Amino acid sequence: RLPQVIVSHAHPEIVRELFELEVPEIEDGIVEIKSISREAGYRTKIAVWSNDPEVDSVGACIGPRGSRIQTIVGELKNEKIDIVRYSEDPVEYIVNALSPARVVSV
Q: What pLDDT, on the 0 to 100 scale, is given for residue 11? A: 78
Give this prediction's pTM. 0.85
Assign a CATH topology to domain 12-98. GMP Synthetase; Chain A, domain 3 (3.30.300)
Strand partners, 36: 46
Give the helix, strand, coil percentages of the chain, each rounded to 5.
40, 20, 40
* Amino acid in position 60: A
Q: What pLDDT, on the 0 to 100 scale, is given for residue 20? A: 97
Q: What pLDDT, on the 0 to 100 scale, is given for residue 3? A: 80
pLDDT in tens, the chain (106 residues): 778 766 666 778 899 999 999 999 999 999 999 999 999 889 999 999 999 999 999 999 999 999 999 999 999 999 999 999 999 999 999 999 888 778 777 7
Kindly list the domain boundaries of the chain, sorted by start residue.
Answer: 12-98
